């Protein structure tokens, strides 16, 4: 196992976070100066489909430029694996500028890459640069892409107080 490069997602994989995505929508139940929107948590966003009259833009992800450490809570089993393994990277759809916020809380030696883009394919492209990647993710889309490419992974799911890691291995 030791020569794997372990690649960890951040939101809902290492920490449960509360930053919300703003979906601009005529049916939005909240308002700001840009208009009506409804908020989505990152885990809700994964299975969300935009209606024709809804849209997302850069402002939709503005909360993700910070981590509200007052609210974020660790996903302990995954963090323990993170702390145990040697070669490790945090790979997030958040912007690279989030790095100092994350390093304030997650200590130790690791690389940090912020893609600034939520595309699962972009994540896969990055993961495939490594010879022996092992991915921890809560995004089913990213995990499906890993499986399609025989990349070993642990799918992290949270439900109430329970944490599940479903491993898929290829050797």
C-alpha distance from residue 23 to each of 65, 69, 114 (Å): 17, 23, 22
Token pair 């799911």 is found at 157
Cβ closer to Mg ion: 20 or 138?
138
Q: How far apart, in Å, do the first and last CA atoms of the chain sit?
A: 11
Q: How far apart are CA 95 and CA 24, in angstroms?
A: 21
Half-sphere exposure of 99 (CA within 13 A, CB side): 12
- Using the minimum distance from each CB to Mg ion, give the nearer residue, 12 or 82: 12
Q: Which is nearer to Mg ion, 36 or 165 (CB)?
A: 165
Nearer to Mg ion, 19 or 138 (CB): 138
Which CB, 23 or 75, lies closer to Mg ion? Answer: 75
Footprint on this chain of Mg ion (rule: CB under 5 A): 9, 11-12, 138
Q: What burial class does residue 40 get, using C-beta atoms within 10 Å of its C-beta: 0-12 exposed, 13-18 middle, 19+ buried?
A: middle
């Amino acid at each position: 196992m030791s020569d794997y490069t372990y690649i960890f997602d951040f939101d809902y994989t290492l920490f449960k976070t509360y930053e919300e995505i703003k979906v601009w929508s005529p049916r939005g139940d909240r308002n700001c100066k840009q208009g009506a929107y409804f908020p989505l948590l990152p885990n809700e966003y994964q299975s969300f489909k935009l209606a024709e009259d809804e849209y997302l833009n850069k402002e939709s992800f503005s909360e993700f430029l910070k981590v509200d450490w007052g609210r974020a809570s660790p996903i302990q089993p995954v963090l323990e694996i993170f702390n145990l393994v040697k070669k490790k990277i945090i790979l997030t759809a958040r912007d690279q500028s989030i790095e100092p916020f994350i390093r304030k809380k997650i200590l130790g030696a690791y690389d940090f890459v912020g893609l600034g883009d939520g595309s699962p394919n972009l994540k896969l492209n990055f993961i495939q640069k490594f010879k022996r990647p092992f991915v921890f993710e809560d995004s089913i889309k990213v995990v499906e892409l890993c499986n399609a490419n025989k990349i070993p992974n642990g799918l992290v799911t949270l439900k109430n107080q329970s944490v599940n890691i479903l491993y898929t291995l290829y050797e």
